[in-house]
């Protein structure tokens, strides 16, 4: 359908185990990446 669908990392460690965890720094990096991608998509849509 032409919709962007990136596979964004979540930063978790030890997936699906009793010791699964994620750091605040990893979650913040994921947020930064998503915001940056949204900015790029907005810039590209303005030129369309």
Q: Is residue 19 part of a domain?
A: no
The answer to whether the pTM exceeds 0.85 is no
Domain that holds residue 45: 24-48
The mean per-residue pLDDT over the stretch 18-29 comes to 91
Does residue 33 belong to any structural domain of this protein? yes
Classify residue 18: in a domain, yes or no.
no
| Domain contains 12 | no
On average, the pLDDT of the chain sits at: 85
Per-residue H/E/C for the chain: CCCCCCCCCCCCECCCCCCCECCHHHHHHHHHHHHHHHHHHHHHHHCC
| pLDDT above 70 (res 48) | no
Does residue 32 register a pLDDT over 80? Answer: yes
- Number of domains comprising the chain: 1
In this model, does residue 18 exceed pLDDT 90? yes
Give a yes or no: residue 29 inside a domain. yes
Residue 47 lies inside a defined structural domain of this protein: yes
């Amino acid at each position: 359908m032409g919709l962007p669908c990136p596979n964004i990392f979540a930063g978790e460690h030890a997936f699906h185990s009793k010791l699964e965890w994620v750091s605040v720094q990893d979650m913040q990096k994921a947020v930064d990446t998503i915001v940056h991608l949204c900015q790029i998509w907005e810039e590209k849509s303005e030129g369309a």
